[in-house]
Amino acid sequence: GENVEQHPSTLSVQEGDSAVIKCTYSDSASNYFPWYKQELGKRPQLIIDIRSNVGEKKDQRIAVTLNKTAKHFSLHITETQPEDSAVYFCAPEGGQNFVFGPGTRLSVLP
């Protein structure tokens, strides 16, 4: 089955700094690469996704980069704000694999 890892598991940054979270996966059939954000006590919500035919995608302060050869993709958040504090999950998908990573807890310090 799919093996999904995230690094780091926790990340603290100063407000205004950038944050990068990396997701590595094992299934070479994966072709869809989303990131979900889960605030404390809330539901996971999609924040950005990318497909295997694209190398990078950006949406305002958030971007995702994909390296399909090396089987990893990364979430980049620039100009971090306190409301970015949450747990972020990657969930690479291919076929009938629906595996979420273990999560990265991001804390943005004022």
Partner 1 sequence: DTGVSQNPRHKITKRGQNVTFRCDPISEHNRLYWYRQTLGQGPEFLTYFQNEAQLEKSRLLSDRFSAERPKGSFSTLEIQRTEQGDSAMYLCASSLGSRAGQPQHFGDGTRLSIL
**Residue 6 to residue 4: CA distance in whole angstroms:** 7
Pairing status of strand 10-14 against strand 104-109: parallel
Exactly one of 39, 79, 82, 98 binds partner 1 (CB under 8 A); that residue is 98
Asked if 5 touches partner 1 (CB under 8 A), the answer is: no
**Residue 61 to residue 78: CA distance in whole angstroms:** 5
Asked if 22 touches partner 1 (CB under 8 A), the answer is: no
> Can you read off the two tokens belonging to residue 48?
């950005």
CB contact at 8 A, 37 and 44: yes
Asked if 108 touches partner 1 (CB under 8 A), the answer is: no
For partner 1, the binding residues in 47-66 under the rule CB under 8 A are 49, 51
Binding region for partner 1 (CB under 8 A): 31-32, 34, 36, 42-46, 49, 51, 89, 91, 93-96, 98-103
